[in-house]
């Protein structure tokens, strides 16, 4: 007796899930704004081009995250030394008006890339526009942020990251200053007593920058003394000091220094504060007239 057995064979075929219908052909590159000069520079801009490849009958949209936490779209921030942040943003357009994001928090997204049925792959070129506004009151150093840039096609994502970088440079400025001594009385008070005067000096630097301020010897320096000169070529000896006691001459060797708290406020210089202490020496027998000199202040930082 023969027994026939029918064997049912079930074949399980595993088909891998398809990758995104749209993916990166060329992912956006890192953005390097270069040197950021808050006091003298303008707005910095940069671009990051990319290319998206889409298969037939597909749709994809490029979205960008807010960045490294804590983050927002209005604005995005580069993170720097000591927790300092520098505002910047990424835009859809070359006029820097529409913030490129994911459609939330004040951001917008571009139109989707769409392809019809049949044929081969379709390629789409795009550009991310980056802008870093001028005038941020932040300390020097390296500032960075990282954003996620994803192609979303409704089924999956093709994800990449983009790093944004700038270096905040050190800067200092010094405003013009003027010491007015007034009237020098050769036969009265100043025959025995010097004529003193003071003037403020306004030095401003990038936050956190230490500045050292030196003064030149003037136009008519001689014998260790600065001199004012009249139109007739007559000299009147004077000097500028670091302190109210007029004990130390302020020059290229004896200097004042201080560290900036904010580029929007003058640096407090020491010793003696942000003040020039001038003195015309007593007992100088000179004719009447107007006496002047020009000093150059040099800020090292």
Nearest to 241 by CA among 230, 226, 229: 226
Kindly state the average pLDDT of the residues 99-105. 97
Q: Are 229 and 220 in contact (CB under 8 A)?
A: yes
| β-sheet bridge partners, residue 54 | 22, 122
Residues 170, 140: contact at Cβ < 8 Å? yes
pLDDT of residue 119: 86
Residue 6, pLDDT above cutoff 90: no
CB 141 within 8 A of CB 168: yes
Determine how β-strand 44-54 pairs with β-strand 275-280: unpaired
Question: Is pLDDT of 72 > 60?
Answer: yes
As a whole number of angstroms, the distance between CA 11 and CA 17 comes to 19
- CA-wise closest residue to 109 among 147, 162, 64, 145: 64
CA-CA distance, 77 to 67, in Å (whole number)? 8
Chain-wide mean pLDDT for the chain? 92
Give the chain's domains with CATH numbers.
22-168 (2.60.40.2040), 172-300 (2.60.40.1090)
Whole-number pLDDT of residue 18: 39
Q: 238-259 burial string, b = 16+ CB within 10 Å, else e?
A: bbbbbeeeeebbbbeeebbbbe
Looking at residues 250-256, what average pLDDT do you find? 97
Other C-beta atoms closer than 10 Å to the C-beta of 180 total 8
Tens of pLDDT, residues 215-230: 999 999 999 999 999 9
Contact yes or no for 198/294 (Cβ under 8 A): no
* Confidence category of residue 94, pLDDT binned at 50, 70, 90: very high
Q: Is the pLDDT of residue 1 over 80?
A: no
State the Cα–Cα distance between residues 176 and 188, nearest whole angstrom: 32
What six digits make up the tokens of 23? 């993916």
What confidence tier does 297 reach under pLDDT thresholds 50, 70, 90? very high
Each residue of 118-171: pLDDT tens digit?
A: 889 999 999 999 999 999 999 999 999 999 999 998 777 899 999 999 999 999
Element of type H or E holding 259: strand 256-259
Q: What is the C-alpha to C-alpha distance for residues 292 and 230, in angstroms, rounded to an integer? A: 7
Say which residues have a Cβ less than 8 Å from residue 5's Cβ, sequence separation at least 6.
Answer: none
Whether the model clears a pTM of 0.85, i.e. scores above it, the answer is no
- Is residue 165 within 8 A of residue 130, CB to CB? The reply is no
How far is residue 259's CA from residue 265's CA, in Å, rounded to a whole number?
11
């Amino acid at each position: 007796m023969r027994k026939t057995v029918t064997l049912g064979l079930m074949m399980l075929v595993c088909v891998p899930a398809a990758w995104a219908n749209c993916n990166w052909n060329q992912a956006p590159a890192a953005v390097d704004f270069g040197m950021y000069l808050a006091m003298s520079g303008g707005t910095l801009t940069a671009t990051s081009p990319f290319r998206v490849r889409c298969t037939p009958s597909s749709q994809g949209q490029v979205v960008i995250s807010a960045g490294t936490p804590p983050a927002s779209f209005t604005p995005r921030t580069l993170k720097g030394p000591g927790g300092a942040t520098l505002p910047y943003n990424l835009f859809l357009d070359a006029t820097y008006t529409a913030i490129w994001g994911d459609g939330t928090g004040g951001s917008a997204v571009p139109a989707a890339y769409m392809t019809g049925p049949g044929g081969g792959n379709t390629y789409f070129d795009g550009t991310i526009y980056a802008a870093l506004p001028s005038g941020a009151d932040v300390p020097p150093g390296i500032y960075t942020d990282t954003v996620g840039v994803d192609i979303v096609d409704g089924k999956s994502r093709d994800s990449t990251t983009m790093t944004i970088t700038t270096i905040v440079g050190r800067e200092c400025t010094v405003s013009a200053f003027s010491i007015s001594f007034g009237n020098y009385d050769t036969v009265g008070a100043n025959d025995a007593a010097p004529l003193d005067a003071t003037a403020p000096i306004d030095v401003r630097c990038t936050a956190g920058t230490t500045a050292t301020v030196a003064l030149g010897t003037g136009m008519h320096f001689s014998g260790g003394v600065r001199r004012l000169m009249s139109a007739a070529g007559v000299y009147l000896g004077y000097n500028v000091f670091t302190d109210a006691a007029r004990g130390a001459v302020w020059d290229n060797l004896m200097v004042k220094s201080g560290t900036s708290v904010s580029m929007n406020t003058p640096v407090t210089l020491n010793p003696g504060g942000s003040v020039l202490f001038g003195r015309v020496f007593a007992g100088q027998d000179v004719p009447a007239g107007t006496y002047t000199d020009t000093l150059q202040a040099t800020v090292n930082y």
